[in-house]
Structure 1
Amino acid sequence: MPTANALTFGQRVAYRRRVARMTQQELANAAGVHVGTLRKIERGARGASDGVVEALAAALGVDTSRLLGSRDQADARVHAAMPSLSAEIAAYEGPDDGPVRPLADLRIAVDEAVTWRLAAQYVRIARHAPKLIGELIRANHLAPAKERAEIAGLLVSALRTADAVAYKYGARDLSARLVDLMRWVAPHAGDPLLVAAVAYVRTETFFAARAFAPGLRALEAALDAAPVGDDDATVAARGTLNMRAAVIAGRAGLVEAANFHLFEARRLGDAVPESVYQGTAFGPESVRIHEVSVAVSLGHDHVRRALDVANEWAPPQSLPAERRSGFYIEVARAQLWTGLARDAFESLKVARRIAPQHTRDHPWVREDAATLRRLRRGDAESLSSFAEWCHAGE
């Protein structure tokens, strides 16, 4: 049987349709395409536009990259969007003329984009984010004064969604520019909790530069400036900052600071229901995932803590896909460090099933897959296939 990557696009659609136990008519109806078009796609008689690919993926309940198959195809679509994204944010002070939808429609579009970010659907984000950001920038210039605060908040959310793609795909200069624009726009929304959320996102620039101690200081300054209150949104804002601070303190090797911020995150997490606040998942379950992150960040002497969590608990399906896949990526590293190579590979495969694009482009996945390949050379064809899928060792 040919490997998944050897299948054509149409064959992958047909395979996923059969797995979902759908007829061609049922899939066509769910995707909003003509059944004759679907038949031609499945037998390779015609291609599919980006919109049709997305519609079929949504109807099948799979990530777009599952249908594209080739890593190069998915990557090419993401990288092709970077110049357009860069051009849109460069025109912030003097945007081009163009249409602007009503505020209610913009809310829906941004909510959808945030959903894609939490699900790690980077191909979809890359296709839609430049146009959405350009439209929001125009709206920010044209809208009546009473709408501008809300539009500023929507723009920050859209910029954060685009930044997730830029950062994950290594466009670090573009990511830094997106973060700078977020920091400039956020105060115009009149919401101090949004400013705190941007401080959380900004930490990725410190991770990228390996400037862990300065990153910790920036987060602690954000905590000093963040509102204090007992409502869920305010508690979650402070909790997410402490979660992030715990991880970056761990990367800096500051055990006491990491434990202090993790304790604060756990205390605050226990006070609110697990949910997405200001675009970030927070609650008891998210904090538990960060316990694993902190243990792995602190290094070999602390990984037993990560394994203890993983042995007694697994993230529920209700958590965002990106966060759940991140848990298994971190656990795989802890397992690899303690000599549990087979378990580590199983964890990486679980991460891939949950969020393939997030897993494939995670640097730790590439490093660990390359290490596993060396340790078990020739032992498993599936390991070699996995390593090639994520370009391990490149």
Structure 2
Amino acid sequence: MQWSEYSTAERIKRLRGPMTQEQLAEAANVSVGVVRKLERGGTASLPSLLSIASALGTDIAVLLGQQAPRRAMDRDERAALRALSAATHDAAIGIPTDSEPGTVEELRAVVRRADAAYWAGRYTELGALLGALLPEARARYDAADAGEWEAAAGVLADVFQTAGMAANVWGSRDLAYAALTYGRQIAVQAGDDLRDAHLAATTAWVNLRDGRTAQGFALAAAQADRIEPKMSEHDPDRLSVYGQLVTNAAVAASRGGAAPDTAREYLSQAHAVGARLGAEHARGRHAQPFGPLYAATQAMSIAVALGDTGGALRLMDTIRLDETVPLATRARYGLDVALTHVDCRRWDQAADTLEKVCGMAPGWVRHQMLPGVIISRLAGVSVARLRGLAHAAGVPLAVR
């Protein structure tokens, strides 16, 4: 059932989750009668609706069903998203900044800090870094002479890529697409085919989060064909980007973007590329590292998506992740493990795994949809524990 198909009363109940009507009324500074009236299908004034939406940590458009809810954004994250949106569009059109931009190398170092914040789930920090980085990267790009223009263009494109990743995790798909498009335009102007393909890989991933699996598959597959490395070639950057593209194509296919056999075919290519790399590697030490371990985690995700519980169990017995794999990737693998336990009716193991993921990546998990799916399917687990898991994951218990 789509979010827009629920009534306003049902949407408020789902967004409220374990919060009582009285607690919501107090947080929104409205009478409890207003909340009760709305949840019985009544109406309320616009100021009351705005206050209730704010208390629920969402927008009035979500409350009214005009857009799906973004997951568990706190006040700081909402402010960071607004600042990111302004900085992204300002950087795209080149609005001047008063500050003196850093050097290309200094800006690259900040991009890596932003990447680290992203992978660790420190999203408020990420927003602050990007808000300062975007105008500086644009200023350096505008001021660059012929000798450093390509390098400055590369930094600006990478900043747009990280901005797109941040917007995606916050559920702002339009901003994510815009940032990635800006980055691709810069990369194309600089004649940087590999960076353009890398940005396309991220765009395909946004397609997946947006439910546009066919488009994500088509984009990833086409870009993989375009940059496919020769068998004799061992450029780690090219192999890493190519590996991400074929992996994204495989994941998209497994989620309905193409046939299951196509998913397995692309996954086989991903494993082969991972073996050629031998270890995790990120192009320019930026964005998603790819290697044999990442390919293995995505094999797990694909097995779960295809309903191959036996395959998922076999992968669980063989996959061992280390610190070279980003925290967010390890956490996502943990959710796939929890889902597999649910499929096997191993309720306690599923709850234990979800609890571990919530503990290891608390900022990240609150922006994911799978915890709600897992909690809604858990049986044989006490209500008290379900409430604890729902609170940790930022999931309304009403999804059950």
Question: What's the CA shift for 1:133?
Answer: 0.7
Residue 386 in structure 1 maps to residue 392 in structure 2: no
Q: What residue in structure 2 maps to residue 13 of structure 1?
A: none
Query: Matched residues in 1 for 2:309 and 2:147: separation?
Result: 51
**1:197-236 equivalent positions in 2, closer than 5 A:** 197-228=198-229, 229-236=233-240
Question: What's the CA shift for 1:291?
Answer: 0.8
Q: Deviations over 1:84-123 (max 9, x none)?
A: 2222222222312322112222121112112222222212
**1:278-297 equivalent positions in 2, closer than 5 A:** 278=283, 279-297=287-305
Among candidates 301, 315, 322, match of residue 321 of structure 2: 315
Q: Deviations over 1:227-254 (max 9, x none)?
A: 5232222222211111111111100161
Residues 227, 254 of structure 1: alpha-carbon distance in 2 compared, 3 angstrom cutoff: closer
Q: What residue in structure 1 maps to residue 142 of structure 2?
A: 141
Q: Deviations over 1:371-391 (max 9, x none)?
A: 32xx246x2634311212323
Among candidates 257, 272, 275, match of residue 280 of structure 2: 275
In structure 2, what residue type is equivalent to 1:124?
E
Q: What residue in structure 2 maps to residue 306 of structure 1?
A: 312
Question: What's the CA shift for 1:288?
Answer: 0.8
In structure 1, what residue type is equivalent to 2:333?
F
What is the alpha-carbon root mean square deviation over aligned residues?
A: 2.0
How many pairs align? 318
Q: Deviations over 1:235-282 (max 9, x none)?
A: 222111111111111001611100100111111110113223222211
Query: Matched residues in 2 for 1:240 and 1:208: separation?
Result: 16
Among candidates 266, 270, 281, match of residue 265 of structure 1: 270
Query: Matched residues in 1 for 2:394 and 2:282: separation?
Result: 34
Question: What's the CA shift for 1:189?
Answer: 4.1
Q: What residue in structure 1 maps to residue 95 of structure 2?
A: 95
Where relative contact order (Cα < 8 A, 6+ residues apart) is larger, the structure is: 2
Residues 317, 166 of structure 1: alpha-carbon distance in 2 compared, 3 angstrom cutoff: same
Unaligned runs of 5+ in 2: 1-70
Q: What residue in structure 2 maps to residue 56 of structure 1?
A: none
Q: What residue in structure 1 maps to residue 55 of structure 2?
A: none
Q: Is the 8 A contact 1:203 1:215 kept in 2?
A: yes
- Give the alignment's TM-score, normalised by structure 1: 0.76
Query: Matched residues in 2 for 1:249 and 1:296: separation?
Result: 13
Classify the secondary structure of the residue corresponding to 2:248.
helix
Query: Matched residues in 2 for 1:392 and 1:147: separation?
Result: 47
Q: Is the 8 A contact 2:111 2:159 kept in 1?
A: yes
Q: Is the 8 A contact 1:370 1:387 kept in 2?
A: no
Q: Deviations over 1:184-242 (max 9, x none)?
A: 12223443221221111011332134222222111111012115232222222211111
In structure 2, what residue type is equivalent to 1:134?
P
**1:118-129 equivalent positions in 2, closer than 5 A:** 118-129=119-130
Classify the secondary structure of the residue corresponding to 1:318.
coil
Among candidates 228, 250, 253, match of residue 254 of structure 2: 250
Query: Matched residues in 2 for 1:205 and 1:287: separation?
Result: 18
Q: What residue in structure 2 maps to residue 77 of structure 1?
A: 76
Residue 172 in structure 1 maps to residue 181 in structure 2: no
Query: Matched residues in 1 for 2:253 and 2:271: separation?
Result: 16
Residue 363 in structure 1 maps to residue 369 in structure 2: yes
Q: Is the 8 A contact 2:120 2:361 kept in 1?
A: yes
Q: Is the 8 A contact 1:274 1:286 kept in 2?
A: no
Query: Matched residues in 1 for 2:149 and 2:385: separation?
Result: 52
Q: What residue in structure 2 maps to residue 105 of structure 1?
A: 106
Q: Is the 8 A contact 1:149 1:188 kept in 2?
A: no
Classify the secondary structure of the residue corresponding to 2:289.
strand
Q: Is the 8 A contact 2:341 2:349 kept in 1?
A: yes
In structure 2, what residue type is equivalent to 1:93?
I
Query: Matched residues in 2 for 1:249 and 1:225: separation?
Result: 19
Residues 247, 124 of structure 1: alpha-carbon distance in 2 compared, 3 angstrom cutoff: same
Q: Is the 8 A contact 2:334 2:353 kept in 1?
A: yes
Unaligned runs of 5+ in 1: 1-70
